[in-house]
A and B are shown apart, each in its own frame.
Chain A
Amino acid sequence: MIDAALLLLRLLLGLGAVFLLGYGWVALLVPRLRDFRTLERLAFGFGIGATILTLWMLALTWLGQVFSLILILAPPLALTGAALLLKKLLPRRANGTVAQAFQPAAPPPPTPYTVWDWLFLGLLAALFLFAFLRAALYPMWAWDAIATWGCKGKIFYQSRGLDLTCIDAHNYYPNLLPLLLSYLYFCLGRVNDHLAQGLFPLWGALLLALLYSFLRRMGLNRTRALGVTAFFALNGTVFIVHLYIAYADLPLAYLALAGVGLLYLWFTAAAPRGSLALAACFFGGMAWCKYEGPPLAATVLLAAVLTLAWLRPPDLKARFLGLGIPLLGLALGLLPWRLFAALRHLEMGADHLQQLYPHQLLAGCSYLAAALADPFFFGFLWPALALALILSGRALWKSPLLFLVLFVAGNLLAILLAYGLAPTSAEEFPSYVRATLDRLLLHITPVAALIVGKGLKDLQGRPEE
């Protein structure tokens, strides 16, 4: 019993260090930390901390260093601390025009929680109680968890480095998640895959915290924001199952939501200063999290460029230049691993770029439509999104909502294209789609929930034009 409590404590301390590192980076990147609520700082901090920490572990491998807990944690924490100290000591520059871009609204007086608030919070609490117990009490079992992510995490811990010599399991995949799992094993002092799986409900909770925060910043009151958050979490089985299987899709969905949400706030001039720098970290995280990350991030940037070109805001040129910041983040997340893989002669997967199979493209359309409409996967979230878009009317074409819609639509098209290019046999194709479609949709579903939230806000009155 004492041993179990100590292990849990070590896990919590390990996760706490990731939060601390990320929190430090949030404080470094934004001019005024108090522009962000505590919930936002924590939700942003964990993703940034995980990205920085695992990229540092990649750097350690590059430097030929053997992993140890001290070597993994001490240098990034010390450097972040020193940078924060330096920031505090340096005289602040005048904020000028940038400061006028965002004026945080005075915090509204605290309102009592309604019955609906308690109901939504109760539903979410019940969900996470189940998800945490289901994740942390059962050993790692799901296919990709033991075939790829968990297996690599275990090997990196055992070999004290990013060693891929003993396995051949998509070795070119990025390693944010395996390295984070191996870091947790270092914290625990052993491979304990069931306790380390507690990471995933935490990641799900942070995703919901981000979704709630973005909805609040979009102008929804507490009850509506909580309602949409619960509507997202408790709709269909995909999100719930991903809370307790150790797949990289939930972290990628979190990173995508953070990147897209921050850019959307930037479009609506509701983003606190420093939001683009934070978004850059999440773009880097996307590239470092999963093989689908860079194309996902590219669709975000493409949607942003198209939206700017269509809406033509007065500061168009500055806006275009601003997009260079997340682009830089994407490059910083992508290049270290690509260079490492090239230098180590790791074979990159390129089998998806051969030729287009039109029959697969057509079959993919019907599978995709079925997955979006079938309540088993995402409940009524996608039908609700369709309704929200219909109700938004012409406002869609005249507001930054277009950015969210282009991102979601672009990814649906990208999924279809990927199926059209997939080199599978006719017999294998249905099972290939079954094994991948729900996960690919999970990456963009939190953003779909943002659009539903916007639609709910517009239900109160005419959509903004």
Chain B
Amino acid sequence: MRNWRRLLFWFLSALWGLQVVWLAWYFAPEVQDVAWRLAQDRTGAAIRQEDSYYRWLLSLAAIIPPQASYVFLDNYQAGKEIEARYHLAPRRHTLLTPDVSPGFLFYTLCQEKASYLIIREGDKPWESADAVHNSAGFRLLPTPGPGLIFQVDHTRLAGKFYD
């Protein structure tokens, strides 16, 4: 090996050594958390139970039958809708954004024959709030948590056609 090549090799190796030290520092908080959880025996499903949103979804799963459909009102970017879809599967899931008009919301509920409407209370107000509260087709269910769930009687909704 020529001298300058050898020097280059050792220079790169030294940089890599520093990189390994940096990686150890970067992942240290996660390593600490793993060790703490192992020591406390708080692993697996117990970690999910720490999340209030997950606990709320569990209470929704107890209400919504597995073969039922629901419409979920939230921003996809918030990442909460995918959690709901995951934990509520195999219930059929349709996502709509909070700024959806009452007309389109009612139309979708009818089309999907959705029995439930779930609204996560996020940073945006939902456009159809008044229409839903004033309609006879919705019944608010008492499940405290970071959102609302309505039982939907889509036969009583005026929304068979949307233009």
Contact = CB atoms under 8 A, between A and B. Distances in A.
A459 B1 contact: yes
Given A150-B86, A154-B86, A167-B89, A137 B23 contact: no
Interface residues of B, number: 35
A111 interface: no
A139 B44 contact: yes
Contact of B47 (A123, A139, A384): A139
A22 to B, nearest CB: 28
A240 B83 CA distance: 24
A158 B43 contact: no
Contacts of A123: 20
Nearest to B95: A168
A299 interface: no
Interface stretch (A38-46, A229-237, A344-352): A229-237
Given A151-B82, A234-B20, A459-B1, A387 B12 contact: yes
A391 B83 CA distance: 49
Contacts of B38: 133, 137
Given A143-B82, A380-B16, A459-B5, A166 B48 contact: no
Interface in A175-218: 192, 194-195
Nearest to A159: B90
A345 B1 CA distance: 61
B15 interface: yes
A456 B30 CA distance: 33
A237 B26 contact: yes
B5 A146 contact: no
A71 interface: no
A265 B6 CA distance: 27
Contacts of B161: none
A384 B12 contact: yes
A130 B31 contact: yes
A134 interface: yes
Interface string A242-286: 000000000000000000000000000000000000000000000
Nearest to B1: A459
Contact of A166 (B8, B47, B91): B91
A165 interface: yes
Interface string A347-375: 00000000000000000000000000001
A146 B53 CA distance: 15
B59 to A, nearest CB: 18
Contact of A154 (B12, B43, B89, B94): B89
A379 B22 CA distance: 10
Interface string B89-100: 111111000000
Given A137-B37, A375-B19, A143 B12 contact: no
Contacts of B31: 130
Interface string B53-93: 00000000000000000000000000100110110011111
Contacts of A52: none
Contact of A165 (B43, B79, B86, B92): B92
Contact of A151 (B89, B92, B94): B89
Given A130-B27, A166-B90, A231 B16 contact: yes
A391 B6 CA distance: 12
B131 interface: no
Contacts of B37: 137
Interface in B29-57: 30-31, 34, 37-38, 43-45, 47-48
A114 interface: no
A138 interface: yes
B44 A137 contact: yes
Nearest to A130: B31
A237 B31 CA distance: 14
Given A137-B38, A139-B45, 20 more contacts: A130-B27, A137-B34, A137-B37, A138-B43, A138-B44, A147-B85, A151-B86, A154-B86, A166-B90, A166-B91, A167-B92, A168-B93, A234-B20, A234-B23, A375-B22, A379-B16, A380-B12, A380-B16, A380-B19, A459-B5
8 contacts: A130-B34, A138-B44, A140-B86, A146-B82, A147-B82, A151-B89, A155-B89, A375-B22
10 A-B pairs with least C-beta separation: A137-B43, A147-B82, A146-B86, A166-B92, A379-B19, A194-B44, A166-B90, A151-B86, A158-B90, A139-B48
